[in-house]
Amino acid sequence: MKVKVILSVLIAALIVIACTPKKNETQTSTASPEASQSQTPTVEYKIDDTIPSDLKTLELDFGFDVTIGQSEEFKGADWYDYFKLERNGNVIFISYADYEFGDKNYPMILQTGVDSYELLFEINSRPGNNRVKRLFVRNDKLTEEDELPIFVNSEPRDINGDGIKEYAGYKVLFEYGAYDEEAGNYTTFYNPLIYYSLTETGLKLDTLLTQQRNEIIFGHFYGLEPDYDIELPGSVVDKFAQELEIISGKQ
């Protein structure tokens, strides 16, 4: 979503109202990561004067720096609702989402080419499942951003024995639904695991593996998004848990 600063001038009252960007708005880019290096897009920066005073800077790999501030805490988890990514003195990305730094998986930085990177950061979504912000950076400029499910495994694993290592995650927390008296167990909903192959050019959605593994768990592949309207027997939760053990290397 592009962020714009809108000035609305009320001439009759001679009052100028500046529309301040909302907390969770982030700056976006105008091109995909497939754009050539000579055509690296220009990021449209968010204008905001609400920078917190209690800032601290984290030094990351490949010369990236993250400035965070305005810490909050809940049940032992800390997150920060000011986030600025820089490299070589260039501001790449500013966000007011709630970023966490307690998981050893994140930040994750993958070099995907000459001065080209994918950066993954954890975002707090409690009491639901946390999610991951992925930033595509080329020549110290943001080219694209998206979100991924938070990964189950701390290290990539060759889950299907094809010689390629994968990460996997799911978007929402699993839970039992109503009790089905006829079947004699609880029902639940469709909550797919999504698998990403780790390649030299970054993380790639492995659609075939995703389809195959979810068919084992749910009996059918219903797509990449959770669906609460699909009622399934509670036994799929046990199959889901078994798959998590395979992904994490416990089986």
CA 68 from centre of chain? 18
Q: Which position has the token pair 């905001």?
A: 48
Mind listing the pLDDT tens digit for each residue in 20-75?
444 444 443 334 444 444 454 544 444 444 565 678 899 999 999 999 986 776 66
Six-digit token pair at 27?
């700056």
Q: What pTM does this model have?
A: 0.76
Question: Mean pLDDT of all residues in the chain?
Answer: 81
Tell me how far apart the alpha carbons of residues 50 and 57 are, in angstroms, rounded to a whole number.
17
Six-digit token pair at 96?
């007011």
Contact 106, 132 (CB under 8 A): yes
Q: Which pairs with CB-CB distance under 8 Å and at least 24 residues apart come from 66-69?
A: 66/107, 66/121, 68/99, 68/101
User: Helices 235-248 and 207-218 sit at what angle, rounded to 10 degrees?
Assistant: 140
Tell me how far apart the alpha carbons of residues 168 and 159 are, in angstroms, rounded to a whole number.
10
Mind listing the pLDDT tens digit for each residue in 120-167?
999 998 888 999 999 999 999 999 999 999 999 999 999 989 999 999
Domain boundaries defined on the chain: 23-150, 151-251
Q: Which pairs with CB-CB distance under 8 Å and at least 24 residues apart come from 216-224?
A: 216/243, 217/193, 217/243, 218/190, 218/192, 221/192, 222/190, 222/192, 223/192, 224/192, 224/194
Mind listing the pLDDT tens digit for each residue in 188-203?
999 999 999 999 999 9
